[in-house]
Structure 1
Amino acid sequence: LLLSSMASLKGLRIFAIIVIIVTIAYIGKIYFKYEDYYIPNGMFSLSENETSNPNSATTILRKGNGILFVETTDRMEPPSLVLCAIEAAARVYPDRPVAFFMKGLEDIITEEDEKRAKERFPSLSPFGNVYLFPLRMDQLFNNTPIKSWFDKVDPRKEIYWTHVSSDACRFAMMWKYGGIYMDTDVISLRPVPEDHFLADETSTSTSSAVFGLSSHYQLAWQFMENFVENYRGDLWGHQGPGVVTRVVKKLCGWPVFNSTDDVMCSNISYFHPQRFYPILYPSWRQYYEVWQILPTFNNSYALHLWNYMNNKGISMVPGSSTLVEHIYQKYCPTTYEYVLGKLT
């Protein structure tokens, strides 16, 4: 009986060891699968101000579901298109923080600082989910591949500094905070149903004007590495859509659309151009023209208005009955009324 009990105990021990080994292997498999796409948070440190300030971007955007905008010039009176883009996002995503990072904004430490900053933008003040943050590139780029580039680049010698610095910021912001990044000429129409997505811009280019990723997602890290390794500040678009396009080609070749349905690139949704670019860049003036029959944009989540092409500064004019006026009236009515009030 004693020998039988000892044999049973030995058998139980062996079984327990087998269970432990299988469990460890399974957990390891999950970890390495996770590690393929994420960079562990512990690799990076945050400053004391970032972790202790309740009004900091790190605190407000901690859930990783923010809608991110950036302004890399010092201007503090952005055009109505920028205000429209932010308002539209605030309306479409009422339960998510909409963050506008501005280089010219003073530090925000207290709620009073935040209140004063928001008062400068009357059309945004009614929206409690809109947050203004100072853009400090030296801090944003800490512990990222972009920091080495930023430390040696001379903005005075850069042809497209406003744009390449914006490109760098969006990739670093997406890695650090996660959520959805949008250019300030992207007008939201309805919520994007995916957390991780890229978007086709043309048959040869992937968009950098709007994309979504979780914080510390490895793809954002790859964007930053590609930004630095292939830096050409003298070529327009090389550091924005050029970066995303190069990474996508390495990741999944080139996605092909057989219809208006979206496709997959690795494990990420790759959106059809209709989602953000129903009007392609050669036809950007159509936004500022009068349409006999207004388009529904039923297949779009947002509209990119190609503001860089608009080098003559054409803007929305109340009473013009142009397509862009109808867009303002429907998707950013507070900004529309603000523009109308300034003219009267």
Structure 2
Amino acid sequence: MLLQKGYVTTRRRIIIAGLILFLVLYVFTSWSEPAEDISCHYLEVDDALPSADDYSFSPSDKSIFFHETSCTANLTSRQSCAIESAARAHRYFEIHVLFSSPVSEATLHESNLKELTIFDNIRFSRIHIVKYAEGTPVADLVKSGALNRTQWKISHTSDVLRFLTLYKWGGIYLDLDVVVARTLDHLAKNWAARESNTAVATGALAFSRDEIGRSIATATIREIQTNFRGDKWGYNGPGVITRVLKKMCTTNNVTLMSAAYCGGFEVYKPEFFYPIKWQQERNILRRAS
């Protein structure tokens, strides 16, 4: 009788332990983010946009670039607002919106993209990422499929492409959530902005085609070529520009970085582009709701 009771108790413990393990695995898989799919970057079908991969794509010296690296093949209202704000504030600039995925004729004429076609300075183009990187320091990195092996495929693709685009063409890069409140042409020719006392951000960058711009563009793309990491979220974005500027400005103190210390490359204070810390965003939105 005692043996039978002990057997039942042990069996009960095993069942309970199994249920706990099942619940832990269920919660973990439910809360973890789904794997990002960027297979669209390698498709060459149903594409209504001109290519930005070859010699026919020739942006002007006054260009602002946006990159759309998800596979939605469209723009959200907020993204459209960001692009429109840049176009309205910079009538004499070319505003280039570069899609990493195919965009169909239907999407081009029946979506948020249609609303932006009324602006004669907005241009949509398609990037085939392997071709786009050919002949650059990151060609082998991109061709190796390294961007497909990171946890943050969309974000890391965006990180690489912003530096690659500025390396290839020069100009201004803006994230698709940057709404321009006033023209940027009163700023220095080459600039970035701090997001904190420890890091320079990459949501807004300007590398011109002059000697200073070419120097910083080459240094950042070489940094990605040599030190790309797929296991750290910000390593290939803010991490790149921060590490490069620490060498260029010969200081590890980000708050001291300025044109005077950085060979003519300007580093603006957080209030220029990042007045609200990303850590505070949820609290502000919660209070506003």
TM-score by length of 1: 0.61
State the distance in 1 between where 2:88 and 2:287 align.
Answer: 26
Q: Is the contact made by 2:147 and 2:156 (CA closer than 8 Å) also made in structure 1?
A: no
Out of 243, 255, 276, the position equivalent to 1:246 is 243
Note the C-alpha offset of 1:255: 5.6
- Distance change in 2, residues 1:257/1:161 (3 Å): closer
Question: Could you say which residue in structure 2 is the equivalent of 1:64?
Answer: 61
| Aligned positions of 1:182-197 closer than 5 A | 182-192=174-184, 193=186, 194-197=188-191
State the distance in 2 between where 1:173 and 1:287 align.
Answer: 33
State the distance in 2 between where 1:155 and 1:262 align.
Answer: 32
Out of 171, 174, 177, the position equivalent to 2:163 is 171
State the distance in 2 between where 1:118 and 1:287 align.
Answer: 36
State the distance in 2 between where 1:218 and 1:141 align.
Answer: 19
Q: Is the contact made by 1:263 and 1:270 (CA closer than 8 Å) also made in structure 2?
A: yes
State the distance in 1 between where 2:253 and 2:62 align.
Answer: 26
- Distance change in 2, residues 1:171/1:118 (3 Å): farther
| Aligned positions of 1:108-187 closer than 5 A | 117=108, 120=111, 121-187=113-179
State the distance in 2 between where 1:272 and 1:88 align.
Answer: 22
3-state SS of paired residue (1:171): helix
Note the C-alpha offset of 1:210: 0.8
**After alignment, is 73-82 or 221-230 more displaced?**
73-82
State the distance in 1 between where 2:142 and 2:77 align.
Answer: 30
Task: Describe the superposition over 1:61-104 as per-residue Cα deviations: whole angstroms up to 9, x where unpaired.
Answer: 1x221110001122123222211111111111111011100012
**After alignment, is 280-289 or 211-220 more displaced?**
280-289
Out of 52, 60, 74, the position equivalent to 2:71 is 74
TM-score by length of 2: 0.72
User: CA RMSD, aligned part only?
Assistant: 2.8
Q: Is the contact made by 1:118 and 1:124 (CA closer than 8 Å) also made in structure 2?
A: no
Out of 260, 264, 269, the position equivalent to 2:266 is 269
Note the C-alpha offset of 1:155: 4.2
Out of 234, 237, 241, the position equivalent to 2:234 is 237
- For 2:127, the aligned partner's letter is L
State the distance in 2 between where 1:210 and 1:218 align.
Answer: 18
| Aligned positions of 1:192-341 closer than 5 A | 192=184, 193=186, 194-215=188-209, 217-252=214-249, 253-254=251-252, 257=255, 264=260, 265-285=262-282, 288=285
- For 1:95, the aligned partner's letter is Y
- For 1:228, the aligned partner's letter is Q
Task: Describe the superposition over 1:111-161 as per-residue Cα deviations: whole angstroms up to 9, x where unpaired.
Answer: xx8x98366423312211111000111122112111121121344432111
- For 1:50, the aligned partner's letter is D
Task: Describe the superposition over 1:14-64 as per-residue Cα deviations: whole angstroms up to 9, x where unpaired.
Answer: xxxxxxxxxxxxxxxxxxxxxxxxxxxxxxxxx9x833x4xx3x2xx1x22
State the distance in 1 between where 2:100 and 2:63 align.
Answer: 19
3-state SS of paired residue (2:75): coil
How many residues matched? 231
**Sequence identity, in percent?**
27
Question: Could you say which residue in structure 1 is the equivalent of 2:42?
Answer: none
- For 1:144, the aligned partner's letter is T
3-state SS of paired residue (2:140): helix
Out of 50, 54, 60, the position equivalent to 2:54 is 50
- For 1:145, the aligned partner's letter is P
Note the C-alpha offset of 1:225: 0.8
Q: Is the contact made by 2:74 and 2:107 (CA closer than 8 Å) also made in structure 1?
A: no
Q: Which runs of 5+ in 2 are unaligned?
A: 1-50
Q: Is the contact made by 1:119 and 1:125 (CA closer than 8 Å) also made in structure 2?
A: no
- Distance change in 2, residues 1:255/1:199 (3 Å): farther
Note the C-alpha offset of 1:105: 3.1
- For 1:195, the aligned partner's letter is K
Task: Describe the superposition over 1:172-215 as per-residue Cα deviations: whole angstroms up to 9, x where unpaired.
Answer: 10011111001111111112222211211111101111110124
